[in-house]
Structure 1
């Protein structure tokens, strides 16, 4: 189960028990997860960083193993980390859930694709040995910066008014100027 599955069938206690929790609220930001309980599903997986909705869940089913936590953004019930991806047995079946997956920013990320492949294989009872390792806990090494050039002309802008809406992240008003082409 992915992302908004925990918001489905809100009046079904059996579905909430099956999937492992119920969606409560969210904000959104870029964040990174950390690996949780030791489990074969996450052997060789180190988490990743992406923009997504910061889901908070309630009505948690304690009969599960949390394999990934979100530690940034809003938390619920005084927790320091929000359960983010988990697995559980249900009868003779297996359930995998991750809160990742709002849009293409996450869906295109190799870390998300790796996690979902792991979850599908585990839920189907397939061998996880064929899944590529994704140990991304190493620090990102920045490439060397180039010297700032002083021979460039400043950008020129034109007033466009409300003809072309240009909303900036976090702003409720539109910009009314646009950069002119460079040549």
Structure 2
């Protein structure tokens, strides 16, 4: 083999190795491939997974594949996460789990490795209370540390970054009875987009409820809203999640957003 041919072979091999570890990227105009992982404790994931799939596909040029666990405990696990290449072929992952007692660090690290490699993510509601491994690893991924929630009461949502691409054009609203998650800490990597206020018998609670996070080189959108089915089915909620998903993929444009905010 000549020196020139050897160099070309080495270069092509190196390029192949580099790109084999990269997340999928939809070609312009092609549907984004989203993986929705749903299941665990305390929520009607059997219904909500379908509400999310239908709502997202109606609003964006995206195809949602569902991985669902019927396990209704906080120990629900997902076989897909046992595979080191579990996110291969997807442009974005939607985490809709409620699995606080899954504390197997190699398992959780395998989930996070995909996002460290650049796979965008959307985290919904109880995903913020999942994988309590005793370290900050999961909190650094989602961008906020939360430990508990208050009673189910209406939450007044106010967008505090109205010119952010995700929130531009969205209007404040008040939810039905919902859970307001607390903020133990908002990490420096997170940009709060919306706050939620809940009037209590004594005083009120006021916490960040939607935000954008930069996880290394990866964009991550999260919202703690979304306990009840009627909230997940609310067009205003689905508009927010859709825009967050497209932003995480850097596809929040006319080629991928089918409908404007309602």
Contact kept, 8 Å, 2:165 with 2:252, in 1: the verdict is no
Equivalent residue in structure 2 for 1:30, among 149, 154, 158: 154
1:100 to 214, 225, 229: 225
2:207 to 73, 82, 97: 82
Q: Do residues 13 (structure 1) and 160 (structure 2) align?
A: no
Describe how 1:1-183 pairs up with structure 2 within 5 A: 1-10=123-132, 11-26=134-149, 27-37=151-161, 38-51=163-176, 52-73=178-199, 81-129=206-254, 130=257, 132-134=259-261
How many residues were matched structurally?
A: 132
> TM-score by structure 2 length?
0.46
CA contact (8 A) 2:180 2:207 kept: no
**Match in the other structure for 2:103:** none
2-structure distance, mates of 1:99, 1:82: 10
Deviations 1:2-57 (A, max 9, x none): 00111112223111111011222212111220001231111111132222111112
Q: CA 1:131–1:98 in structure 2 vs 1: closer, same or farther (change >3 Å)?
A: farther
Q: Distance in 2 between matches of 1:88 and 1:12?
A: 18
Q: Which runs of 4+ in 1 moved over 6 A?
A: none
Query: What stretches of structure 1 of length at least 5 have no aligned partner?
Result: 136-183
In 2, Cα distance between equivalents of 1:54 and 1:128? 31
Contact 2:189-2:215 at 8 Å conserved across structures: no
Distance 1:12 1:122 in 2: 28
Question: Which has more radius of gyration?
Answer: 1
Q: TM-score, normalization: structure 1?
A: 0.65
Instruction: Indicate if the aligned counterparts of 2:195 and 2:210 stay in contact, CA closer than 8 A.
Output: yes
Q: What is the CA distance between 1:117 and its match in structure 2?
A: 0.4
Report the secondary structure of 1:41's partner residue: coil
Indicate if the aligned counterparts of 1:33 and 1:70 stay in contact, CA closer than 8 A.
yes
Partner Cα separation in structure 2 for residue 18 and residue 9 of structure 1: 11
Give, in whole Å, the separation in 2 of the partners of 1:28 and 1:106. 12
Q: 1:63 offset after TM fit, Å?
A: 1.9
Higher helix proportion, which one? 2
User: What is the root-mean-square deviation of aligned Cα atoms in Å?
Assistant: 2.2
Contact 1:66–1:83 (CA under 8 A) maintained in structure 2: yes
